A = this chain, B = another copy of it.
């Protein structure tokens, strides 16, 4: 008699699975009554440390999850979470993740429907971003890898030699240089480090008063590098910086890149999603001109982690950067491997999960317009919050409002503002995060939350005033 990890008793397992669904939906439907965050008691830390004990069965393990894990997450499910830039997830996408895990297809490609689902989703996303038909792409774990893929394609396309074969080691080649603003996200540094370009080859261009890259300085930097014998390969523009939501002058940077024959990469982690809204599209105009574009569906697309996307205008350049050479997998013209592994030739992984299903089901069920409506709503909420802050004597905006991120301070020291932030979280009122703007600490409210209501921002402002006055 063989062993298996399937349930010995399917009926009992079915009952447990239904209980998990009920518990979870009860939890999600009652988020508004739960604290925005709560600290972990010491007993939780104790329970979640130590060696593996004897097997306890599925029900007891699940009950440990209910006791020790579910009550103590970082908080992004709730209506008053605006920390960093995190989406909530949705109930439908959660069930899609269950279906994806159950079907468990290997998403390198293969002659199967799930691969077609991802290809279809990528076409939809390219269309929503107004990129041309034939644009290539890949779903990723998130923005960092999507951006890394864009930069890897840029490196391969613009190096001027076979960078995959030769690497960057010890050649009498010019230095390959990359450009971003001082407000660009930390992924840019990680990407140039990983790719062997090195942090020293990443030129950080200063920003203007609106935290947008100074395009004249960018032009000068490119020219200076050329004069010094270097080879500028890529400019990274931001559609929504992480600190303030600033949007670089994408059309001007796109023009410059075309003139200079430099790759135009856009990091649109959350901001690119504004392309879905007719009301906001003009603010991110130029996204559609990207040679490569990275964005997340798990931020302003409201889907659960993980799902980001890289789109690459030149499909051949995309494939050339990741094509499998000398692979052990030889395609046949019939059967499971017919058609090869095209999705493994667009990014890092050979083995990939079915992230595409939650995007596919959500877009089919809700439509892109439902997401656009919520993006509009979040921007309107940011404007409302900014108005409330301006109207308060003891509060001030710390940066111009560009899209959906409101940075503000209580009048007083950095220490006071830090204390306000920590108390907001510890009391379970709300979860903004903190950042440093012009050398001073500020509270940062990044609104990518489909559960927030206007009243939630009143709760925030009132609590900040109350704590500030104490």
Does A292 belong to the interface (CB within 8 Å)? no
Whether the Cβ atoms of A353 and B193 lie closer than 8 Å is no
Most buried by B among A7, A101, A433: A101
Q: Which of B128, B198, B324 contacts A168 (CB 8 A)?
A: B198
Whether the Cβ atoms of B54 and A367 lie closer than 8 Å is yes
Q: How far is the CA of A458 from the CA of B18 in the complex (A)?
A: 37
Whether the Cβ atoms of B421 and A5 lie closer than 8 Å is no
Most buried by B among A97, A194, A201: A194
Question: What would be 8 A-B contacts, judged by CB atoms less than 8 Å apart?
Answer: A20-B99, A48-B117, A50-B120, A55-B369, A167-B201, A169-B197, A190-B348, A328-B435
Q: How far is the CA of A166 from the CA of B193 in the complex (A)?
A: 8
Whether the Cβ atoms of B173 and A351 lie closer than 8 Å is no
Instruction: Return the chain B residue nearest A380 by Cβ.
Output: B2
Whether the Cβ atoms of B56 and A364 lie closer than 8 Å is yes
CB contacts (< 8 Å) of A110 on chain B: these are 74
Q: Which of A302-325 contact B (CB under 8 A)?
A: 302, 304-306, 308, 322, 324-325
- Minimum-distance CB pairs A-B, first 4: A196-B196, A167-B198, A55-B367, A97-B101
Does A92 belong to the interface (CB within 8 Å)? yes
Question: A305 and B14 in contact (CB under 8 A), knowing A21-B21, A374-B4, A421-B335?
Answer: no
Q: How far is the CA of A77 from the CA of B106 in the complex (A)?
A: 10
Instruction: Return the chain B residue nearest A450 by Cβ.
Output: B5
Most buried by B among A142, A324, A351, A431: A351
Whether the Cβ atoms of B89 and A24 lie closer than 8 Å is no
Question: A24 and B102 in contact (CB under 8 A), knowing A107-B305, A198-B165, A431-B336?
Answer: yes
Does A45 belong to the interface (CB within 8 Å)? yes
CB contacts (< 8 Å) of A186 on chain B: these are 324-328, 350
Interface window among A63-71, A219-227, A245-253: A63-71
Whether the Cβ atoms of B73 and A113 lie closer than 8 Å is yes
- The count of chain A contact residues (Cβ–Cβ below 8 Å) is 183
CB contacts (< 8 Å) of A88 on chain B: these are 5, 104
Instruction: Return the chain B residue nearest A2 by Cβ.
Output: B453
Q: How far apart are A278's CB and chain B's nearest CB, in angstroms?
A: 16
Most buried by B among A6, A44, A70, A335: A335
Whether the Cβ atoms of B336 and A75 lie closer than 8 Å is yes
Q: How far apart are A58's CB and chain B's nearest CB, in angstroms?
A: 4
Q: Which of B14, B101, B369 contacts A21 (CB 8 A)?
A: B14
Instruction: Return the chain B residue nearest A68 by Cβ.
Output: B113
Q: How far apart are A356's CB and chain B's nearest CB, in angstroms?
A: 10
Whether the Cβ atoms of B37 and A336 lie closer than 8 Å is yes
Does A116 belong to the interface (CB within 8 Å)? yes
Q: Which of A73-109 contact B (CB under 8 A)?
A: 73-77, 83-84, 86-95, 97-107
CB contacts (< 8 Å) of A369 on chain B: these are 55
Does A470 belong to the interface (CB within 8 Å)? no
CB contacts (< 8 Å) of A170 on chain B: these are 168, 170-175
Question: A194 and B74 in contact (CB under 8 A), knowing A305-B107, A450-B5?
Answer: no
Whether the Cβ atoms of B195 and A195 lie closer than 8 Å is yes
Does A17 belong to the interface (CB within 8 Å)? yes
Q: Which of B68, B350, B431 contacts A187 (CB 8 A)?
A: B350
